[in-house]
Amino acid sequence: MSSRGQRPDADVVRHRQTSRRPPSHAPSRRRRGTGTNGSVGGRATVQKNENMPLATRQASSNRHRNAKIEIGQLLLDQTFSARNFRKISDSEKRKGRVRDLDYFGSVREKTEELKSCIRATKEFRRTHPGKYSDDEQAQFNLLKEKREEVRRERDDVLLEELEDVSRNVNKRSFEIEFSQAPGPGGKSVYVIDIEKPAPYYAMKKLEANISSLYKLKPANRDEVMDQVIDILSDRFPYHVIRTDITSFFESIPHKNILLKLRGDQLLSQKSLRILSSILHRYSSLAGTPGEGLPRGLGISSYLSELYMREFDRTIESLPDVVYSARYVDDIIVIFAPLPGSDMRNKKGLIEKLLRDIGLLMNQAPGKTKESPTDHNGQPDSKNGWSFEYLGYNLSFSGGLSVQMSRKRLERYKNRIRGTFQRYRDHSSKNPKRAYRLLLKRVRYLTSNTQLTHNKQNAYVGIYFSNRHLSDFRDLNALDGLLSGQVRGVASLSLRGKISACSFVKGHQERIFRRFQKPGEFEEIVRAWKYEN
């Protein structure tokens, strides 16, 4: 990490973290995730005053600033064109989201024809093993040529359809429509009409424009926890403040975001116009004029990170801070105080910094925690003290112990109870389906799997969602609850299969199961949609 007088290297969407070397009296450590290439923990080294008046910025001779404007405005194609929509289509396909087939019947027909050609070439290979004769090679070449011809036709048809979408989006009157829906925790979420291609592609392109121009990248919450646990595992008397922001998305003012975007002159006028209409529509739906971002729309994550950028930098620059991270609205700040430093005013300082940008520290029970201090404001013993962060409970009793957060543990318990309740509700109507779904859901809960067709082919499950646990009492408690529930199942064969499932074994042995049939994964997790 750079020293205090420098800017670090690349801001990060959903998560802002910084780690500086502790003072000389603190134990040294190897810092991770602080590279200069846009990886987690970095920021751009070019310094600029983002609040400088527009005229002053325009007159500035800062070469880095001018270079950034040139790169942002000239090299990034921000247009809502068919070719850019095609790039979005290809990117989404790599993540397993093939929207083209839903939107365009002509593309769907050509895709089926292409699949038939692909099957024909595979069948020819299967039925003609070994070296081909001249006639066989000619036949195979014709099959390949036909396949590639149909592929080109499919691509041309898709581009024609996207040309129509582009013409629609580029009308001056175009707006992205979205609606309000009930979401988790009693808060509303907002969803675009994905039945129509224009709002879908326009939103994706708007997100791509903002994230590329401002170098906003998704972060890995596991890397945050790795660093928090690494720092707090030694015996140095760090001071810890963990908090979050009340109604984070709902509280961000539109005016400040729009002033910054317009002042930076990086985002195209078309993008600004669409974005302004999104904010205006949200205000109308939520009844909060000039305030709030639509929770559930991807664009809100990028805008919120842009808004919090200066706050993150200010926290990083506070005296005695050796590590800070913000994952959406969850904040942790770790201090390694010098002798004579008073930690008793640090929470109030963070609260003031939030108020200065129109946000409030969450004062609900358990949401804001601060480690003990002595009468001089120096860190006191943490024995018996605990706090929750990113789904974990970190407690101190001689050393650091990591368990599930209470909320996460209750979520698992509710999923177990809900799974068996659904079985009881449906076993008399469709016993075979109820049997199959109960077993699948229990196996899913107690094991691990790979999400295919997403960008990283991510792993999820009882280990990969709880990899930082050092105390397994919660897993044992879940096994106990599962054993109690299975006793109410009448089928002996089903009871036997479920009894072989274990949260402890699934975590410690990293047991994997495959759920790859079409619609299988969605069918399993549908039972827990919008849980708290």
User: To 10 degrees, what angle do helices 197-213 and 82-94 make?
Assistant: 90
The SS3 of residue 337 is coil
What percentage of the chain exceeds 70 in pLDDT?
Answer: 84
Q: pLDDT grade, residue 531 (50/70/90)?
A: low
pLDDT of 472: 96
Token representation of residue 216? 């906003």
Please give the share of the chain, as a percent, with pLDDT higher than 90.
71
- R_g of the chain computed on alpha carbons: 27
Lowest mean pLDDT among 204-208, 489-493, 514-518: 514-518
Work out the average pLDDT over 280-303: 95
Mean pLDDT, to the nearest integer, of 515-527?
Answer: 81
**Quick one: DSSP state of residue 229?**
H
The answer to whether 465 and 445 have CB atoms below 8 angstroms apart is no
Distance from C-alpha of 115 to C-alpha of 150, rounded to nearest angstrom: 10
**For 40-49, 138-147, 236-245, which range has the lowest pLDDT when averaged over its residues?**
40-49
CA distances from 130 to 53, 124, 126, 134, 453 (A): 73, 12, 10, 13, 33
Q: Angle at the Cα of 184 (from 286 to 461), degrees rounded to 5? A: 145
What pLDDT, in 10s, does the model give residues 50-103? 333 333 334 344 444 444 545 545 589 999 999 999 999 999 888 878 888 999
- pLDDT of 515 reads 84
Coil, strand or helix at 264:
helix
pLDDT of residue 31: 40
Model confidence at 292: pLDDT above 90 = yes
Q: Look over the chain and give the mean of its residue pLDDT values, rounded to a whole number.
A: 86
Minimum mean pLDDT among 98-102, 445-449, 525-529: which range?
525-529
pLDDT of residue 454: 52
Q: Which two tokens stand for residue 111?
A: 């895709």
Mean pLDDT of 359-386: 93
Contact 234, 337 (CB under 8 A): no
**pLDDT for 19:** 59
For 358, residues 6+ apart whose C-beta sits below 8 A from its C-beta are 251, 252, 253, 256
Q: What is the reported pTM?
A: 0.81
- Alpha carbon 523 to chain centroid distance? 22
pLDDT at position 530 is 56
* pLDDT: which is higher, 461 or 220: 461
Q: What is the DSSP string of 374-442?
A: -TTSSB---TT-EEEETTEEEEESSSEEEEE-HHHHHHHHHHHHHHHHHHHHHTTT-HHHHHHHHHHHH
Give the position of tokens 């592609």: 201
As a 3-state breakdown, the chain gives helix, strand, coil percent values, each rounded to 5, of 50, 10, 40
Question: Is pLDDT at 355 greater than 80 in this prediction?
Answer: yes
For 130-139, how does the pLDDT look when each residue is reduced to its tens digit (9 = 90+)?
999 999 999 9
The answer for residues whose C-beta is within 8 angstroms of residue 114's C-beta and 6 or more apart is: 147, 150, 151, 154
pLDDT tens digits, 404-437: 999 999 999 999 999 999 999 888 889 899 999 9
Residues 123-150: what's their mean pLDDT? 95
* Residue with the two structure tokens 């004579």: 340
pLDDT at 196: 92
**Mean pLDDT on 309-314:** 95
pLDDT > 90? residue 486: yes
- SS3 string of 462-513? CCCCCCCCCCCHHHHHHHHHHHHHHCCCCCHHHHHHHHCCCHHHHHHCCCEC
Contact 220, 324 (CB under 8 A): no
DSSP for 201-224, please give it: HHHHHHHHHHHHHTT--B--HHHH
Q: So what's the pLDDT on residue 396?
A: 95
Count how many Cα atoms sit within 13 Å of the Cα of residue 498 in the half-sphere of its side chain.
30
pLDDT higher than threshold 50 for residue 41 = no
- pLDDT of 278 reads 97
